[in-house]
Amino acid sequence: METLLVFKSSYSNKFWKISVAENSFAVTYGRIGTAGTVRVKEFPSIEACEKEAYRLIESKLKKGYQPAEKLEQVVVESTMTESSFWQLVDRCGDYGEDSLDHMEWLVSHLSKKPVLDILIFDSIFKEHYAKSYQANLWAAASIAMGGCSDDSFDYFRAWILYLGKEVYYEAIDDPESLLPYLLLLQEQEGIPQLEELLFVASSAYEEKTGQEFEEYLKLYDQLMEEDDSGLGIDLDWDEDDEEGLRNMFPTLWEAFHENPL
Give 73-132 pLDDT, tens digit per residue.
565 566 788 999 999 999 999 999 999 999 999 999 999 988 888 988 998 999 999 999
- In whole angstroms, give the CA distance from residue 108 to residue 192: 24
DSSP-based three-state secondary structure for 28: strand
In this structure, which long-range contacts are made by residues 20-23, counting pairs with CB atoms below 8 Å and at least 24 apart in sequence? Answer: 20/49, 20/50, 20/53, 21/222, 21/225, 22/46, 22/49, 23/48, 23/49
Residues with Cβ within 8 Å of 12's Cβ and at least 6 positions away in sequence, in order, are none
Tell me the pLDDT band of 231, cut-offs 50, 70 and 90. low
- Find the mean pLDDT for residues 212-226: 80
- The pTM of the full predicted model, rounded to 2 decimals, is 0.78
DSSP-based three-state secondary structure for 62: helix
Q: What share of the chain is helix, strand, coil (3-state, %, to 5)?
A: 55, 10, 30
- Percentage of the residues of the chain whose pLDDT score is greater than 70: 93
Residues with Cβ within 8 Å of 30's Cβ and at least 6 positions away in sequence, in order, are 14, 15, 36, 37
Q: What is the pLDDT of residue 73?
A: 57
DSSP structural state of residue 93: T
Q: What is the pLDDT of residue 222?
A: 77
